[in-house]
Structure 1
Amino acid sequence: MTTATRDLAGLTARIAEIAPGLRVETGPGATGPYAYDASNYRVLPRAVAFPRTADDVVAVLRACREAGVPVTARGGGTSMAGNAVGLGVVLDFSRYMNRILDIDEEARTARVEAGVVLDALRGATALHGLDFGPDPSSHSRCTLGGMIGNDACGNRSVRDGRTSGHVEALEIVTADGVRAVADHSGLRAAEPGDAEAVRRVARLESGLRRLVEDNLALIRTELGRIPRQVSGFQLQHLLPENGFDMARALVGTEGTCAVVTAATVRLVATAQASTLLTLGYEDVVEAAEDVPEILRWSPSAVEGMDEAIVATMRARRGSDSVTGLPEGRAWLYVELEGDDQAAVNARAAELLDTLKARGRMTGGRVVESPAERRSLWRVREDGAGLAARLVDGGESWPGWEDAAVAPENLAAYLRDFRKLLTSHELTGVLYGHFGAGCVHVRIDFDPATEAGRTVMRRFVTEAAALVVGHGGTLSGEHGDGRARSELLEVMYSHRMIAAFAAFKKTFDPDGLLNPGVIVDAAPLDADLALRELPLLDTTFGFPH
């Protein structure tokens, strides 16, 4: 028996001792699938645990701390940036900790476990005329815990913003295995009768307050500058003027500071009336030029996509899978909502006339049929995933899929970004939340070869400088993960990077929670799946 095998056996035995009945799997058939998420990375864990309760999570964290083994919390594995893979023990919340614990219709809140899939929550709240605002395209499989980890947004982020704006309280387990609650006024022990837990949580909060007091000017000037500034830690929520809002500060920490087991989230009323405009343009830059005007009309969504998305849908699902788009090579979807359908329709017609007068559109129409609107939204949601395999047979990859700028800077950024792609002889499939200035792009990188990885590293490094030059952020909703954490020094000052490290160390002094992410970053080209696995000549590659 090797030393590693003995250590793993000792760890699983210790977990079983602390939490009898907790399911922990260690075989290659169990751990192999958890080496991947939806990103470019592959990191094989030593074990996967399937907690049923917060006490199970406490047991895993305490055992792993004793053994010096890292822990990575995982929801649906939908991470595009490599946030949900790790070397030690992976906690899968989606199998058992997936219950909706309470829906308070009067208060418009819901309390849910971390593994609840978004669509399950939305289905339950719809019975009360309520909804959870953030709606990423992965809504059928992403979990609330994952959304909290990344501070996810979605198609209607113009109206609803980020997940952090909808969190009332988080139930967490700290790195040393203490249950606590983070809310809008700080941290408290989950069990007030446990004197030791109360003391440890008070000490943790005291350290965080000192950190903020020592960095007030820094936090005020570098953080919270644009709506989609997700990169790094959101320490601005801890400022005195924001009431030391610990719940919001922990959203977007990607499992690096504490493990979220449950959350109380705020719900929004379902819109009574809505309509959709589809607008055609010659290219995405022209489309972005109209975004500031569109935002004056208070839309609930402003989504953009280029011709590659539409071509992919038609190639994969048939020519009739995309109908109703006006002439053009890029499109905006603009959704308007309100309390009265006639008033919404009138606003839509007026907006369409205003945009026609501006002269950038190649065409536009109001989509009145609900069925047609659903079909068009399907193009936006499914097309991006299908574009992983391009129409010409090539492949496209994430890695620089999540940058954001202020909406008024979007056209200028896109113009320069396309020049950067061309200079590296790369092609990008562009789409995203144009109303929030957030651009997703899949790029035809070649991560399987050394030359391709060199181009990829050079490109994303230059892209980071470009987006920062436009006042933007490396991540607008997917988080930094393994794809962008190394580049945070391009975006933030050395003092801010040091403050991030101090924040992480206050929560996790041993560095065991999702290491290599945000703080002490792993190289962005390490652990790439196509680098770690040999390329085999196999008929199961499906190159066609």
Structure 2
Amino acid sequence: MATHALPDPVIRPGTPVDVDVPGLAAALRARVDGEIRFDDGTRAAYSTDGSNFRQVPIGVVVPRSPEAAVEAIAVAREYGAPVLSRGGGTSLAGQCTNTAVVLDWSKYCGKLESVDADEATCVVQPGIVLDDLNRQLADTGLRFGPEPATHMNCTLGGMIGNNSCGATAQRTGKVVDNIAALEVLCYDGTRFWCGRDAEGGTAPHTPHRGQAPRPPADDEAYAEIERHGNRRAAIYRQLRHLRDTYAERIRETYPDIPRRVSGYNLDSLLPEHGFDVAGLLVGSESTLVTVLRAKLKLVPVLKERTLVVLGYPSVDKAAEAVPAILPHEPVALEGLDSKLLRDERIKHLNPSAISKLPEGRSFLMVQFGGEDIEAVDKQAQRMLDDLHDSPHQADVAFLDEPALETELWQVREAGLGATAHIPGKPDTFEGWEDSAVAPDRLGEYLRRLNALYEEFGYLSDTGPSLYGHFGQGCVHTRIPFDLYTASGVATYRRFLERAADLVVEFGGSLSGEHGDGQTRGELLPKMFGEDIVHAFGQLKAIFDPQDRMNPGKVVAPHPLDDNLRLGGDWSPATPQNLFFRYPHDGGSFAQAANRCVGVGRCRQQTTPSGQVMCPSYQVTREEEHSTRGRARLLFEMLDGHSDGPLTDGWRSTAVHDALDLCLACKGCKTDCPANVDMATYKAEFLAQHYRRRPWRRPRAHFSMGWLPAVAQLVGRLRLSRLVNAVTHTPPLSRLAVAAAGVEDREIPLFAGEPLQRWFARRGPRGDGARGTVLLWPDTFTNHFHPHVGQAAVELVESAGWRVEMPTAPLCCGLTWISTGQLGVAKKILTRTVRALAPHLHDGGLVLALEPSCTAVFRADAPELFPEDHDVRRLRDQTVTLAELLTDHSPGYRPPTVDGAKALAQVHCHQHAVLGWDADKRLLEQAGVDVERLDSGCCGLAGNFGFEPGHLPVSEACAERVLLPKVREADPDTTVLADGFSCRTQIHQLDSGGREAVHLAELLARPAREEGRR
């Protein structure tokens, strides 16, 4: 081929390849510094992204450096294997799923290699997470501008691949506008820096220094590149020829709108854009090159911000106000409709922020920013003055509380997860979730889009919702496509074809943020015409003539209804004899396993404020140890596809191994936007995995699962001293640990007198003016920490309640649930419910002190027995100590704990099921200055930290935030932890000897001190 000629375009639609997989895997292991994973479990975990599509990878490579990735691609090239470069795996158009060798950059290749604050640039590796990058840049006063809703877990490599935007793009533009240079690798091994700040000449081969050279990319630089006569020079010559051939058609065809993300950025090659090869490669979705490093342009952090929310009667009216607002130069301009808010209310998301919205059924969130708050507020006021008495006048809420403003942005960012799996609504899917038009045509476009929804039967009072980056004409939505039947899939195809025609009619873009991938690749001719799509194929052939870079996406794409994760032929197993009833999923375990929409919130490397999910991922950084990865494995376990990697159902060792490090913290039940409940799924899996073969269970399941029965025996026979002596006297303690099959860590001491015996001896006291409450003697309070129960009894009686306590040895079944012994758990729980029924029938409250046991009554029991009325009563009448003293004790004021400061480690089950708002209110009333730790799960998580092989993860979870905060705390600061496991973890792992206390102990302290005086 002549170096000046354009190659024939790649036109093969996803050419299948015959790869020597064992040889490829062996060569990768021998030559690549990284983790090489070709096992079925890993392949199942990476089989899909956030889209409708599914393709099982050949294998996964987790390189430890960009240079290791270079070697991995060299090996793949020798074996002819396709390659897919993947970041956070949240793509919504199928670009992060393929039958290829997947390079996962997110575990090791996340370094910020250099920063030039004067130049306002930095050099990063592709696996760095956006929020982590901006945290590291905080001291410079700079940040990377584009910020998609997945900023807490998306990687810069993924953002470059998709040309991401987000709400901040109103101020900073798309990723393509913020790239100074890229270091890239072609499939054939050609490696070079490109972009306006990149060097002319050969690529630097000492990139570990993190410095991208920066001569200008003008004709002189181009001449220098061509002078070398190498493969890079040939690429640049062909790119110039491609540009010159199609320049006029590019100018005519590419829509002049802020959010054109569809198609390759051929416009970056135009002379007016400086022949920017890096700009060309942004948004190419791993189909042209692999990005090894990026030099990013940074912007100043806005010191002051003001948010104005405008309420309108309909979403199209809100959209029509956008052109009147844009001249005031907001830094963000977002729109959302009442249907999104309704979905969030149903899922109990962001309630306080939603309550502060102005009147209206649709809203614009208009943010202004700058250096001076007075100037920013004036800018906002000028906008309001201009809107006053205009057709776009709105009801106004002026929000200047930073916490409330942050929560309101979460309302908008929660859109994708909030609109998936809404109770009482059909499932919704991507497909047409990010179209874009010119902002001044947005109102009309939304009316036509709604008409299209109605024509296809997708429009109803319940959806689909509309929201998005209205200031740039980008619309987000999830649509109730029927992707379960052949006819539904056919309708899905027809809708996408009609929707593409509609957006082209408006001069818009099929994608305004999420890219083309497979969803829109087939539709690109409608937007660009056949000649430009032909140019796309030629561009692909310039960089990747063998079609080995993410084949079947963008160019020569698979059909938009091929490789569907569901589809008319999806036929999963329908497990029978389930223990949990899955009332939120129509009784279907398959639907429960299919809840995950791939948004990746579980992959956050740090625990966001007030969240727990997902502690094991935060420690291991492994996809299969995230909630998403485990959900994918469970989905694949049901074997609904002919090419499924997991074929042994409930007996799957791959699923077992992935679930083994799930702490069953239940954080995902609340923190996951789709409310995936992995703790429940794990318990079900363990129950089914060991069904009819209990001898295969680890000994720890019996020693830990049957702990309540052992504790009751120890208490009844008064053996606590003997047992404590055995378990705390070497070498007997080591023998005890070995016999129990648990980790070699301190076994908690049994109390000398259980709580029930103490209460029977003491008896109830007080006048009971508020009525009678039954205090639940959970195993941990009863047999290990009865002092907690004693403090609670005294406190509750002082509040005017009469306390009663069961005398029988009852249990909620928690330990049997967490070890997957669900048959026993159901029997235990049934006995308990029947014993409590008379109290419940009288409307009596049940006070539970241990959060994990309380969560059984409030969540697990109703999901095991959803139709049992007494179980429902138990759910509704079980209260925490704080709820009893606030919500059910009007006029009560807790004892004042003068000058007290506390660090609160909120139990993960309390966070997920019970909430901590009542505790916070009660502590404030008591005068306690409390800081809730953003520590997530303590790491012990019931039996998890005692099971063999879990100690390193358990300790690592505690060392992330909890233990350092405890060690740093002033000696007079109380460490507050209602969970027995949290108190035990602190007791055993804090070398400073700090002991945590229960809320009851803290609030009972003043009365006890007064009594001692």
Same fold (TM over 0.5): yes
- 1:126 to partner: Cα distance: 1.6
Q: Report 1:263-278 matches (<5 A).
A: 263-278=294-309
CA contact (8 A) 2:522 2:560 kept: yes
User: Structure 1 residues 58, 192: CA separation in 2 closer, same or farther (over 3 Å shift)?
Assistant: closer
* Greater relative contact order (Cα < 8 A, sep 6+): 1
- The 1:206–1:305 alpha-carbon spacing in structure 2 relative to 1, beyond 3 Å, is same
**In 2, Cα distance between equivalents of 1:292 and 1:431:** 17
Whole-Å Cα distance in 2 between the matches of residues 332 and 300 of structure 1?
13
User: How far 1:370 moved relative to its partner?
Assistant: 1.2
Give how far 1:474 is off: 0.3
CA shift for structure 1 position 198: 7.1
552, 555, 571: which is aligned to 1:534?
Answer: 571
Indicate whether 1:189 and 2:202 are aligned: yes
Match of 1:45 in 2: 57
Question: Hey, what does 1:87 align to over in structure 2?
Answer: 99
Give the structure with the higher percent strand: 1
Which residue does the alignment assign to 2:913? none
2:361 & 2:145 partners in 1: Cα distance?
30
Q: Please state how far the C-alpha of 1:181 moved relative to its aligned partner.
A: 0.8
Inter-partner Cα distance in structure 1 for 2:260 and 2:539: 18
- Other-structure match for 2:335: 304
Bigger Rg over Cα: 2
Q: 1:533 to 1:59 in 2, by over 3 A?
A: farther
* Contact 1:185/1:244 (<8 A) preserved: no
SS of the equivalent of 1:334 reads strand
- 1:102 is paired with a residue whose SS is strand
Partner residue in 1 for 2:121: 109
Q: Please tell me whether residue 386 in structure 1 is matched to residue 386 in structure 2.
A: no
* TM value normalised by structure 1: 0.95
Equivalent residues of 1:352, 1:365 under 8 A apart:
no
Name which of 323, 343, 348 aligns with 1:317: 348
> Deviation of residue 197 (structure 1)?
9.5
Deviations 1:21-51 (A, max 9, x none): 4321111111111111111111100100011
- Inter-partner Cα distance in structure 2 for 1:188 and 1:48: 33
Q: Which moved more, 1:383-392 or 1:30-39?
A: 383-392
C-alpha contact (below 8 Å) 1:62/1:177 kept by paired residues: yes
Structure-1 residue corresponding to 2:78: 66
Structure-to-structure mapping, 1:244-263, within 5 angstroms: 244-263=275-294
Is 1:30 the equivalent of 2:42? yes
2:112–2:128: 8 Å Cα contact kept in structure 1? yes
| Alpha-carbon distance, 1:17 to partner | 4.1
Q: 2:454 is matched with which residue: 422, 430, 455?
A: 422
Distance in 2, matches of 1:237 and 1:393, equals 43
User: Compared with structure 1, are the counterparts of its residues 224 and 201 closer, same or farther at alpha carbon in structure 2 (3 Å cutoff)?
Assistant: farther
Conserved? CA contact 2:260–2:508, under 8 Å: yes
**Is residue 433 from structure 1 mapped to residue 465 from structure 2 by the alignment?**
no
Indicate how the Cα distance of structure 1 residues 5 and 199 shifts in structure 2: closer, same or farther if over 3 A, else same: closer
Match in the other structure for 1:294 = 325
Q: Determine which of 465, 474, 493 is the counterpart of 1:457.
A: 493
Give the 3-state SS of the residue equivalent to 1:141 in structure 2: coil
User: 1:303 touches 1:332 (CA, 8 Å); kept in 2?
Assistant: yes
1:503 paired to 2:539: yes
Partner residue of 1:493? 529
2:241 to 206, 210, 217: 210
CA contact (8 A) 1:348 1:366 kept: no
1:259 and 1:5, CA in 2 relative to 1: closer, same or farther beyond 3 A?
A: closer
Within 5 Å, which residues of 2 pair with 1:138-153? Answer: 138-153=150-165
Q: Distance in 2 between matches of 1:467 and 1:45?
A: 33
Question: Pick from 379, 385, 405: which aligns with 1:347?
Answer: 379
Deviations 1:241-289 (A, max 9, x none): 3221111111011111100011010110011221001111111100000
CA contact (8 A) 2:421 2:427 kept: yes
What per-residue deviation string (whole Å, max 9, x for no partner) do you get for residues 327-365 of structure 1?
111111000112221121122123223323224455112
Equivalent position SS for 2:309: strand
Gaps of 5+ in 2: 1-16, 207-224, 576-587, 596-674, 676-1013
Match of 1:395 in 2: 427
- Whole-angstrom distance in 1 between the partners of 2:361 and 2:108: 45
Percentage identity across paired residues of the two chains: 40
Separation of aligned partners in 1, 2:491 and 2:427:
15
Residue of structure 1 equivalent to 2:559: 523
Aligned length: 539
2:440 matches 1:408: yes
Letter in 1 for 2:551: P
Residue identity matched to 2:184: I
Q: 1:198 to 1:90 in 2, by over 3 A?
A: farther
Question: What value does the CA root-mean-square deviation take over the aligned residues?
Answer: 2.1
Q: Distance in 2 between matches of 1:422 and 1:121?
A: 43
Q: Is the 8 A contact 2:353 2:404 kept in 1?
A: no
2: distance between equivalents of 1:197 and 1:38?
A: 43
Match of residue 180, structure 2, among 128, 153, 168: 168
Q: What is the one-letter code of the residue matched to 2:131?
A: D
Q: Which secondary structure does the structure 1 equivalent of 2:149 belong to?
A: coil
Query: Could you say which residue in structure 2 is the equivalent of 1:8?
Result: 21
Note closer, same or farther for the CA distance 1:292–1:59 as it changes in structure 2 (3 Å cut).
same
Contact 1:349 1:366 in 2 (8 A): no
Normalised by the length of structure 2, the TM-score is 0.52
